[in-house]
Every structure is written in C-alpha cells, then in structure tokens.
C-alpha cells in the first residue's frame, strides 16, 4: 500500500510554505526534496520520485519555495530559497525525532531545487548528503556561464543524476566539475534523458520517470549510511 502523506506547514521568517511528509515504517533515512523552477512539489515527477523512495524505506519531505506558494513564476533569489531549505530541513529533523528515527537526513532537488540545496550547504546547512536530479550547471546554450564555484568546498557525499541530452549541463563540462569536486561526488548518466529525464521513443509518465530514479538514490544512500 502507498505510504500515507501528511501535510506540514514550514515557517520561513514571516512566510509559510506547504510541505508533504511521508514516513514508511522504520525508515533508514529521510530525503528532503525541492522542486525545479517551473513546477511545484505536487508535480507528478516529484510525487513519483518520493513515492518510490517511500516504498524502498525512505521517509520524505517535499516542499514549495515561497514564489511557488504565492503563485509567482519567477524563482526566489538565493537568500530566500536558502532560508526555505534550512526551514524544511529543520521540519524534517523534527518529524524524524518525533518518531524516534535516527537515520540520516539528505537534501535532494530537481534542477533549481538541487542547486539551492548545494548553496545552502555551502553556507552551513547541515545535511548527510546531496542528490541532484538534473543539476543546472549552465543555462542552455551558454556553457560559459557555469554555476559551479560553491561546489568545490563541499565534502559531503553528492550524487549527480543527469540525462545525456540535458541542455543545462554539457557532458564534458559536468564530468570536469565532478572530477574537481573529488571522490565524494558521483556522476550517473541517464542515457538519452533530457532535463526532465524523458527519453525519446520511451513513452513514460512524469511519475514513472521520477520513480525510475529512486533505486539509484536509495543504493547511494544505503552505501553511505
């Protein structure tokens, strides 16, 4: 049976944003998940991914950034997004403590959400590790505008899941970035995947695509727990 989801409210300064917490019996870890720039926490990709994590014994908390909560299209600036990440991680930790869970709490994000998670960690946010579901290394067609400087000081485990057709990350550039980060970072290519991990000729729903990424994440976390 699907794991029951519980709505939660996350306070960020004077604002409140929505979240959804789901906890299977005796989870071995928790993953906090942030959405990308163009869709909120209820996008089927997000729900498919967290549902599959729940089925594999991982508790999850997905949440909205303030701009999405307010119905705006333009993403929040880093300070607001980082503050939201900190608040979401605190809520996840409290939920785990309330249930007596002692497993690690990881931060994960689709595109923008993952980049903001890494920036939050670079500014001191605690996390057991980071998972990037399509890291936006540069804007499409602008490989000279890299978003990588803050990554090189991070020493926690990092998993980069990236489609080989993702226009937000030229393969040779991302491979170079991951190599420079060092052994804590692992890059796994999804053959034929675009920025949403859709593969041409392979008709799958967004929920199915999100769910398909969960096993690699579960294996990565288990190996480091």
The per-residue pLDDT of the chain, averaged, comes to: 97
Confidence of residue 105 (pLDDT cuts 50, 70, 90): very high
CA angle 107, 112, 118 (to 5 degrees): 40
Q: How do residues 11-21 score in pLDDT, each as one tens digit?
A: 999 999 999 99
CA pair distance 223, 151, nearest whole angstrom: 22
Centre a 10 Å sphere on the Cβ of residue 144 and count the other Cβ atoms it contains.
Answer: 7
Distances (CA, A) of 67 to 6, 15, 119: 22, 11, 18
Residue 1 has pLDDT above 80, yes or no: no
pLDDT above 90 for 224: yes
Alpha carbons 4 and 131: distance in angstroms, whole number: 23
Distance CA 87, CA 24 (A): 22
Q: What is the pTM of this model?
A: 0.97
> Chain-centre distance of CA 40, in angstroms?
12
Helices (H), ranges, 8-65: 44-55
HSE at residue 147, side-chain half, CA atoms within 13 A, is: 18
User: For a pLDDT cut of 70, what percent of the chain falls above it?
Assistant: 100
pLDDT tens digits along 137-166? 999 999 999 999 999 999 999 999 999 999
Question: How high is the pLDDT of residue 140?
Answer: 96
2: confidence class by pLDDT, cuts 50, 70, 90: confident
Q: Is pLDDT above 90 for 225? A: no
Tens digit of each residue's pLDDT (9 = 90 or more) over 23-57: 999 999 999 999 999 999 999 999 999 999 999 99
Q: What is the pLDDT of residue 97?
A: 95
């Amino acid at each position: 049976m699907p794991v029951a989801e519980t709505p939660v409210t996350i306070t960020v300064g004077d604002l409140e944003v929505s979240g959804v917490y789901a906890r299977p019996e005796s989870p071995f870890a928790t993953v906090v998940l942030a959405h990308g720039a163009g869709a909120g926490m209820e996008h089927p990709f997000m729900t498919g991914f967290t549902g599959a994590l729940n089925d594999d014994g991982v508790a999850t908390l997905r949440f909205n950034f303030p701009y999405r909560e307010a119905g705006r299209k333009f993403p929040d600036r880093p300070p607001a997004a980082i503050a939201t990440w900190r608040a979401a991680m605190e809520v996840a930790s409290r939920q785990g403590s309330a249930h007596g869970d002692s497993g690690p709490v990881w931060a994960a994000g689709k595109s923008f959400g993952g980049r903001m998670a890494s920036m939050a960690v670079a500014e001191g946010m605690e996390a057991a590790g980071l998972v990037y579901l399509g890291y936006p290394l540069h804007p499409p067609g602008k490989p000279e505008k890299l978003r990588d400087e803050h990554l090189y000081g991070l020493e926690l485990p990092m998993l980069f899941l990236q489609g080989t057709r993702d226009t937000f990350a030229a393969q040779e550039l991302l491979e170079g970035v991951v190599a420079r980060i060092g052994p804590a970072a692992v890059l796994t290519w999804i053959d034929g995947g675009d920025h949403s991990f859709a593969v041409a000729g392979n008709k799958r729903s967004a929920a199915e695509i999100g769910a398909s990424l969960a096993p690699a994440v579960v294996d990565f976390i288990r190996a480091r727990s």
